[in-house]
Amino acid sequence: MTAFTPLALPDVVLATPKRHGDARGYFSETYVKPLYAANGIAADFVQDNESLSELAGTVRGLHMQAPPFAQAKLVRVLAGAIFDVAVDVRKGSPTYGQWVGARLTAEGGEQLYVPHGFAHGFCTLAPATRVAYKVDAVYDKASERGIIWDDPDLAIDWTFGHGDRILSDKDRLLPRLKDFDSPFVYQA
C-alpha cells in the first residue's frame, strides 16, 4: 500500500508507494487513480513528462502554468535524487509565499504532489538524475510563468551545498515573488 503523508502546506502530499521486493528486484504500483484520489491527489492527469539533468546542482524552476492551463503535478525520480519544492502562490492564501520541500530519490520511489496554485522546482542532488511527472493539463507555452529560484523572500533551503547551480537561460531571468502578479486566487 502506498503511504500518503500531508506536508506543512495544505494540499501538498508526499506519497511513497510500496515496493514488493523479490529475487529479481521489485514491483511497485506508482499511480492508482482511485487510491490517490481518496488521499488528496484527485487530479485528472493527461500528460507524462521526463527530464534528464546531467549534473548535480541543476535547478529547474520555479515554474507553473496560468489557468486555464494550470497544472497539478505528481513528481518522482527514476534515477538519482532531487530536492523537490512547492511554493504557494495563491493570492490571499494564509500560506502565500511559503514553501515546502521533500527529498525524492530513485532508491526510495517517493513522489511529491504539487497542486494548482503552487510554483514547482527542484535541485538535483546527484549526476544523471531523471525526473518523471504527470500533469493534469497539456503544455501551453503562452501560459508559462515562473519565479526566480533563489528569491530571498522565499528563502528556500535548496540543501545542495552552496556552489554554483546550473540553470536554463530562461530560469535566470524569472522575477521575484514581489514583482510577480500571480494568476491564482485562494479559494477556501
Ligand X SMILES: Cc1cn([C@H]2C[C@H](O)[C@@H](COP(=O)(O)OP(=O)(O)O[C@H]3O[C@@H](C)C(=O)[C@@H](O)[C@H]3O)O2)c(=O)[nH]c1=O
Residue whose C-alpha cell reads 504527470 in the numeric block: 134
Site string for ligand X, 133-172 (x = CB under 6 A): ------x----------------------------x-x--
Q: Measured between alpha carbons, how far is 13 from 7 in angstroms, rounded to an integer? A: 6
Output the smallest distance, CB 35 to ligand X, in A. 24
How many angstroms separate the Cα of 10 from the Cα of each of 5, 92, 95, 146?
A: 11, 14, 9, 21
Residue whose C-alpha cell reads 500571480 in the numeric block: 182
162 carries an active-site annotation: no
Residue whose C-alpha cell reads 525524492 in the numeric block: 104
* CA 140 from centroid of its chain's CA atoms: 18
With CB under 6 A as the contact rule, the residue among 5, 28, 51, 159 that binds ligand X is 51
Q: Measured between alpha carbons, how far is 109 from 126 in angstroms, rounded to an integer? A: 15
Number of residues forming the site for ligand X (CB under 6 A)? 12
139 carries an active-site annotation: no
Output the smallest distance, CB 125 to ligand X, in A. 15
Q: Measured between alpha carbons, how far is 88 from 177 in angstroms, rounded to an integer? A: 11
Candidates 17-25, 27-35, 60-68, 158-166 — which segment interacts with ligand X by CB under 6 A? Answer: 60-68
Output the smallest distance, CB 152 to ligand X, in A. 20
How many angstroms separate the Cα of 71 from the Cα of each of 35, 48, 55?
A: 20, 12, 26
The single residue of 36, 113, 120, 133 carrying the catalytic annotation is: 133
Candidates 3-11, 12-20, 58-66, 104-112 — which segment interacts with ligand X by CB under 6 A? Answer: 58-66
Residue whose C-alpha cell reads 510500496 in the numeric block: 18
Site string for ligand X, 71-90 (x = CB under 6 A): --x-----------------
The single residue of 63, 120, 139, 186 carrying the catalytic annotation is: 63
Interaction site with ligand X (CB under 6 A):
49, 51, 60-61, 63, 73, 120-122, 139, 168, 170
Q: Which residues carry out catalysis?
A: 63, 133
